[in-house]
A and B are shown apart, each in its own frame.
Chain A
């Protein structure tokens, strides 16, 4: 008991110290995010590969809570190619939803912040947005228009006091101000028919509670598709639905993807759904990508012990096993992540000498297949290593940012020939 107390106990002063430091960091990050007059050169970049729609490069999303920094997403990198489906799998709490929210910039702010890395979203003219640095005002044009999202629970994500039609119209009104009311109505009807709602005119005037779960999810899909987005993020779109309805919705998503030429990022914990839908698979564990590759790579040649464990623990129809495999132990505490491989304590194939070292780097074992595990250290070339961004670095960044701002302020003041004092006071 006493040992446990020592480990997890936070005194009042400790907690105070943490929250004070958090406030300084989040304040600085919020300032960056809300700066609507930010120089476009800071967030317009170019894609690494023209064929990708979104590239994630070492993305770090942290939650600054009062018990410490929770590193929910910790150096995640993968690409989403054009016109393809990328599946993200993992247990709950592994950071798959936070990754998608980071792309949408919908994190619970100010506690949740993307603190590092790059998320590049390709633009039609060949340039790309770096979403990590994009200010909120620009982000509002991208969200719903270029990227849109389908949420898990269709009941809670539709507004119960507005008619279905009004909720779809809203998206179009926001992003296409040039459209007339008739055009918007026609487009909404077209969307409702496209997602397979037979009685489109009737549903247009209904409220969400009048529809069944499957129909509601169809409406959610219609809202997401209304502006022809380049990327649809589907966050567990079928978890709340029945098997037969799930089959309908998956069929619909697959057909629509080809029809409107967009990519899907599919987040789920159901390996069966992933196998059926995805071209590429990303397996996440404790905020990091442990394995990624094509669906064929992952399902026929799973390499990381976690992926293998995940596959073995799910019962499959037609395969008789006496006892299901279960992964022993628990996910490590997200506040105090160890230095070594996060999966070491639960791993069957663990080799204590090697695995006690640093967190394994990502190793490319074939053209498409990347694993981060020490077992494959000699079997391929090292691609990269994800690294933690410590608080001290963020604090340093903040000091530098303030210095630069002061300098700029002074320059502008000199140019205008005004007194120095006002600028300095503002900064304090």
Chain B
């Protein structure tokens, strides 16, 4: 089945290659290139939402939802993305599928920048990148029967020939644990777990390589959660899928992911393999996050790091390290200098001043000294100006 599909797609693309401006073969998967180990690469992705003034609709600021994140995902693996709500993990997931425009940076899918593709070529790429949304109650059209929900895009993209269409939809539905006679039913006739299966089937029907799962299980019950996670894992093995799994439930992320990235206020603060990050978290935020997971064992007593306060506004993030307002191990440096996101152990990235080398520390210290000096000078200047103004005022009063 899969082979058939591939040949069809190739035919399609050859047809359009003559009319398109960029040769389409450029973004076709080429298994011989050394970079093919990684399916997706994100380079310094930024996504700002402008804040507009109420009167002239001028842009007066930016909500920095995603503020420069970079990572790579290997073929056939799962990357988990965790963080508090409002830290930009959903925005990151949507942006890298080009569901919204990017402010800065690159997203390379199979070595091709998604954001530089022409409309027609993007359309060809769409089936390869799919998304499963969080809420299965609002992401399915209530007016379409299930067969149509799953099949609409299949027809649109000519994934299979017309005479095999019905058979193909049935096969996809069976793979996702749905019955064939569900085809003519409407979404409201299904429970939450079944609806999420429909969403998964809809994504899977297009024969994708990469699926963004945006909190696919957080609206579901515990036992149904387990069914959906098992289904996702099984499908990954069967179809060699690559996932970006966005969730705030750390235990689920640990179970399903191969690598984990932790986000805080639009930045990736730590990234490593799942075993490494859970056994040896480096960043203070990651440590606090992991210690907050409730463990289902009444005798288990853990030293919990309770974070004070809540996440700052992304429209006006704190200077220096964004986490320093809530950090227990905050130093002088953290308030002024932004920590670099660097590899501390092989494969373990972290952005924190605690892991700076001596040289780096010295460098930062000098910078800080300068900035403090500048600030002080500025303050002095401001004071002088104020004094002069006051004197001028007094003079004018006296003269008057």
Contacts and interface: CB of A to CB of B under 8 A. Distances in A.
B251 interface: yes
A244 to B, nearest CB: 5
B15 interface: no
Given A296-B299, A321-B255, A313 B222 contact: yes
Given A244-B288, A314-B296, A326 B227 contact: yes
A315 B274 CA distance: 14
Interface string A304-345: 000001110111111001011111001000000000000000
Interface of chain A: mostly helix, strand, loop or mixed: helix
Contacts of A309: 223
B83 to A, nearest CB: 9
A284 interface: no
A299 B296 contact: yes
A270 B300 CA distance: 16
A245 interface: yes
A243 B84 contact: yes
A316 B290 CA distance: 12
Interface stretch (A103-111, A246-254, A406-414): A246-254
Nearest to B233: A323
Contacts of A246: 292, 294
Given A91-B222, A299-B297, A315-B254, A214 B310 contact: yes
A208 to B, nearest CB: 15
Nearest to B310: A212
A278 B224 CA distance: 24
A225 interface: no
Contacts of B330: none
A248 B304 CA distance: 10
Interface string B31-47: 00000000000000000
Contacts of A271: 222, 296
B280 interface: no
Which bucket holds chain A's interface residue count? 35 or more
A299 B233 contact: no
Contacts of B291: 247
B255 A315 contact: yes
Contacts of A92: 221
Given A213-B310, A242-B85, A272-B251, 11 more contacts: A242-B248, A243-B250, A243-B292, A244-B289, A275-B298, A278-B298, A295-B298, A313-B222, A314-B225, A317-B254, A323-B230
Interface of B: 84-85, 181, 191, 221-227, 229-230, 233, 248, 250-252, 254-255, 278, 288-300, 304, 306-307, 310
Interface of A: 1, 91-92, 212-215, 242-248, 250-251, 269-276, 278, 295-296, 299-300, 309-311, 313-318, 321, 323-327, 330
29 contacts: A91-B223, A243-B248, A243-B250, A244-B288, A246-B292, A246-B294, A247-B292, A247-B306, A251-B304, A251-B306, A269-B221, A271-B296, A272-B293, A275-B294, A275-B297, A278-B298, A295-B298, A299-B297, A313-B222, A313-B223, A316-B296, A317-B250, A317-B278, A317-B295, A318-B278, A321-B255, A324-B230, A324-B255, A326-B230
